[in-house]
Structure 1
């Protein structure tokens, strides 16, 4: 898979920033050693609880293929991942000559004039809500072809309450103008909205879309996923304390912390790209059903 592409974009409001794309590395684990106690006291000394808890999460030794990374999803709950990026319907506009102001494809705008019939936009999220430990996580997405000066709309809001019929503006709605290469892209939330923080225990929905025609929102190309910020378990806290950086993606994946697993893996790929690391990310993506993205990286 190509290294994560470098993307530069500017917000419609005038915000300009750079985004660096990412990827992950090998695994060696050396827990800290302690001095031997005096013989007379040895029987009284017990292992620290944190060390014992950390031992329950075992990153794979270096002889194990990095592609053995395992994402432990609950596999339960409503499927929240959605995408609508089949653009064949756009070509059908040629037959809508009776609609006012629309003649063939002349009504299309922006990136939709660039996309091919097999264009795809995906968010790199599991089928059910993915977890993060971060107040400002980095979000990942993918496009199947390069786009020049494309105008994306990023929206983040709390997952709607089915019992609440009141409508309000989303927490974040930004227009991002980006030129991107085909492949995986990174979107740090801190650069989209520097002052915004995810609340713990609140489920959020985020959407990335390309508006194709101002009068026909049903033609938008878009993808949606969900995220929730959680506290680390005692087991995870202990494990990360005694785990080297190269092993962190395995630990996060084993504990079902999707966004941190993908981010730490992608960051290692960015720093030290290798086929092993890319294959580990391919494996992670396949486990959540993102086969189209995984196939692109093989």
Structure 2
């Protein structure tokens, strides 16, 4: 795979805060604070084991002459094969692998609560230079903090044709917020903090794009989600594009 760029939905001023947050989390992981008892895996319900509904990998563009993308690569919600990932933080970053757009395109992001009600929506810009996009809830204006022991659904759609939604490219994923300070509690039903581990690896690859140990960890993580043949496996540390949400739409 070729090197690719990373697009964050956050402000330049917020990037140091994001870096500090992930660095602190990395230290916690190194100290083993995120290691749960194997018996906790048995607490996963049947729905999680069988997988949650939704499409994490979009279909190819419907029209070969579409002005939306330069290639047939799909939009991908980078989540496990079950469509559900967990996080220990209230404002995680949700990750997308995006196709090469011909020109800057609008991407609509929506977050739903356990009752499937929209609790937040906004729009960000997908630039032609980006292949990986981080939707950082911590830097999105008025984005809610995820509550412990709650499940959320999120969707992302690249607007290819505002007059014909059927041409838009869409994916969705799920996220559970867990309480790592209480491994025996009901809020920590998973041993794998997917979103947190994913974010740390992206940042490590940005700093050390040729570090074979980090590359191996990234490839292993993508393979575990059966995304290793779809998502690029290296990061260009010199090509980080930072952007802002361009619109915040209040849910009804």
**Cα shift at 1:234:** 4.8
Is the CA contact 2:35–2:191 (under 8 Å) kept in the aligned structure 1? no
Render the CA deviation track for 1:220-276: whole Å, top value 9, x for unaligned: 10111000101116569xxxxxxxxxxxxxxxxx92111111112222222333232
Of the candidates 233, 245, 251, which is equivalent to residue 297 of structure 1? 233
Which protein is richer in strand relative to its size? Answer: 2
1:115 is the counterpart of 2:69: yes
* Coordinate RMSD, CA, aligned: 4.2
Of 111, 114, 137 in structure 1, the residue corresponding to residue 92 of structure 2 is 137
- From the superposition, tell whether residues 4 and 78 of structure 1 become closer, same or farther in structure 2 (CA, over 3 Å): same
Corresponding position of 1:271: 207
- Give the Cα–Cα distance (whole angstroms) in 2 for the partners of residues 55 and 157 of structure 1: 28
Quick one: structure 1 residues 158 and 277, their matched pair in 2 at CA, closer, same or farther if it must change by over 3 Å?
same
Who is 2:246 aligned against?
Answer: none
TM-score, length-scaled by structure 2? 0.67
- SS of equivalent residue, structure 1 residue 148: coil
Structure 2 contact 151–175 (Cα < 8 Å) conserved: yes
Cα pair distance change 1:225/1:8, threshold 3 Å: closer
Provide the C-alpha distance between the structure 2 equivalents of 1:264 and 1:151, rounded to a whole number of angstroms: 26
Computing the radius of gyration from Cα coordinates, the structure with the larger value is 1
**What TM-score do the two structures reach when normalised by structure 1?**
0.58
1:160 to 1:289, Cα distance in 2 relative to 1, 3 A: farther
Partner-residue secondary structure (3-state), 2:103: strand
The Cα of 1:114 is off from its aligned counterpart by 3.9
Q: Which residue of 2 aligns with 1:224?
A: 172
Question: Larger helix proportion, structure 1 or 2?
Answer: 1
1:8, CA displacement in angstroms?
6.4
> Is the 1:3–1:269 contact (alpha carbons within 8 Å) kept by the matching residues of 2?
no
Q: Provide Cα deviations, 1:152-171, integer angstroms capped at 9, x if missing partner.
A: 1111111446xxxxxx5x21
Verify: 1:17 aligned to 2:11, yes or no.
Answer: yes
**Is it true that 1:78 corresponds to 2:72 in the alignment?**
no
C-alpha displacement of 1:30: 9.1
Q: Take 2:43 and 2:58, find their aligned partners in 1: how far apart are those partners? A: 24
Residue 289 of structure 1: CA displacement?
1.5
Q: 1:122 to 1:54 in 2, by over 3 A?
A: closer
Aligned positions, number: 215
Q: Distance in 1 between matches of 2:35 and 2:138?
A: 30
For residue 279 of structure 1, report the CA deviation from its aligned partner: 2.3
Q: Give how far 1:185 is off.
A: 2.2
Q: Gapped runs of 5+ residues in structure 2?
A: 185-189, 235-252
Give SS of 1:177's match: strand
5+ residue gaps, structure 1: 10-15, 32-49, 58-71, 92-104, 106-111, 162-167, 237-253
